[in-house]
Amino acid sequence: FAHAARGTASVPEFSMNGIYLDANENPLGPSDSARKAITDIIPNGGRYAPPLYFGLMKMFAEQMGVPVDHVMVYDGSSPPLHYSSLAFTSSTRSFVCGNPTYEAGQRAAEIAGAKIHAVPLAKDYSHDVAAMVKADPNAGLIYICNPNNPTGTTTTKEQIDYVIGNKAAGTVVLVDEAYIHLSDATSAIDHVKAGKDVIILRTFSKIYGMAGIRCGFAIARPDLLKKLGTYGQSPMPITGMIAAQASLMDPELVPTRKKLIADTRNNTFAWLKANNYSFIPSESNCFMIDVKRPGPQIRALMAKDGVHIGRSWAAWPTYVRVTVGLPSEMQAFQTSFKKAMDTPAA
């Protein structure tokens, strides 16, 4: 996490020197209407503002087409991700996930004492759902990240239907849709509507550009949400709530940003292809490149140019994850990446 260097005791002020393509953030930040809403609400910062809290949950539930008792707001999707692992895994109920994938749920499951079944992705980089279901008939939680982080690849509706249709009774399926708006993947929301053992996670940290403002949701049957609630709740920042509400009311936000990020990503892919670099085609705001040497070597070389790319995963040590930045940032990426790749491997 190159950002760790941004704030230290000796440099307390926040500084964004350099280009950060390492944390799947959105360089566009909050939308114009969200910014205005944040500014306008600041004088009320001394309030917990329950009407805002309930109003936001109502608006989100309506947009998702579920009753309001099927949604719970959190300060991002990290809290419900952790609570899901704590609630549904244990020393006798395992955690099943893809590999590589986003590891936060796995880490919480380890704290719960759960056995981890990290199932390699399929050849097309979707989740290998048959192998995941087979991994443990007594799984507590099956985690599917769709689109997946770090690959940006999707798992189809049919594959998710398979997991829900074939999992053991009592196993909960956690579908992390942090990046869904960036792709054409189908949400698992119909399974929630049908009363299945499914929890969906959504966040405002990605397409909505609010990672530092904070808002996210868990969507599930009320009894599943109640179990998460026993592990903790999120007192919500009023800035996060009002910005989320403004974002949800803006019909242009998602399609405009989806197209902008896709265009930048596809231009980067065309350049990688033209230069014979090997990468995994992604539908999201991150993608992986096989640098054919230990990934940290390329990452360290590029950091010297002030271009901070993402890390490697243990399963694929020669791949690095790159977040799609602004078009100008991806130009800087190209220059620095080529220079690093032209440097003989250490």
Cα distance between residue 327 and residue 220, in whole Å: 37
Please pick, from the candidates 22, 52, 76, 224, the single residue that binds ligand PLP as defined by CB under 6 A: 76
Cα distance between residue 19 and residue 48, in whole Å: 36
Task: Sketch the per residue contact string, 212 through 241, with ligand PLP: x for CB under 6 A, - otherwise.
Answer: ----x-------------------------
CB of residue 61 to ligand PLP, shortest distance in Å: 18
145 binds ligand PLP (CB under 6 A): yes
125 binds ligand PLP (CB under 6 A): no
99 binds ligand PLP (CB under 6 A): no
245 binds ligand PLP (CB under 6 A): no
Q: How far is CA 297 from the centre of its chain?
A: 25
DSSP sequence for 125-191: SS--HHHHHHH-TTEEEEEEESS-TTT-----HHHHHHHHHHSPTT-EEEEE-TTGGGS-PPPSHHH
Q: State which residue, 26 or 159, has the beta carbon closest to ligand PLP.
A: 26
Q: State which residue, 160 or 340, has the beta carbon closest to ligand PLP.
A: 160
Closest-approach residue to ligand PLP (CB): 76
Q: Tokens representing 11?
A: 């440099």
Q: State which residue, 77 or 155, has the beta carbon closest to ligand PLP.
A: 77
- Report the phi/psi class of residue 94: left, alpha or beta, with left for phi > 0 and alpha for psi in -120 to 50: beta
- Report the phi/psi class of residue 122: left, alpha or beta, with left for phi > 0 and alpha for psi in -120 to 50: beta
Count of residues that interact with ligand PLP, criterion CB under 6 A: 14
Asked if 160 and 144 touch (Cβ cutoff 8 Å), the reply is: yes
Asked if 175 and 146 touch (Cβ cutoff 8 Å), the reply is: yes
CB of residue 326 to ligand PLP, shortest distance in Å: 19
66 binds ligand PLP (CB under 6 A): no
DSSP bridge partners of 287: 322
24 binds ligand PLP (CB under 6 A): yes
CB of residue 37 to ligand PLP, shortest distance in Å: 19
Q: Tokens representing 328?
A: 């100008």
52 binds ligand PLP (CB under 6 A): no
User: What's the number of CA atoms in the CB half-sphere (13 Å) around residue 266?
Assistant: 9
178 binds ligand PLP (CB under 6 A): yes
109 binds ligand PLP (CB under 6 A): no
122 binds ligand PLP (CB under 6 A): no
Asked if 125 and 284 touch (Cβ cutoff 8 Å), the reply is: no
Stretch that binds ligand PLP, among 57-65, 74-82, 115-123, 244-252 (CB under 6 A): 74-82
Q: State which residue, 101 or 264, has the beta carbon closest to ligand PLP.
A: 101
Please pick, from the candidates 26, 78, 89, 155, the single residue that binds ligand PLP as defined by CB under 6 A: 78
Cα distance between residue 149 and residue 293, in whole Å: 21
CB of residue 254 to ligand PLP, shortest distance in Å: 16
Cα distance between residue 45 and residue 228, in whole Å: 27
Please pick, from the candidates 85, 89, 106, 203, the single residue that binds ligand PLP as defined by CB under 6 A: 203
Q: State which residue, 234 or 340, has the beta carbon closest to ligand PLP.
A: 234
Strands 19-21, 116-120: parallel, antiparallel or unpaired by DSSP? unpaired
Positions that interact with ligand PLP (CB under 6 A): 24, 76-78, 81, 102, 145, 149, 176, 178, 203, 205, 211, 216
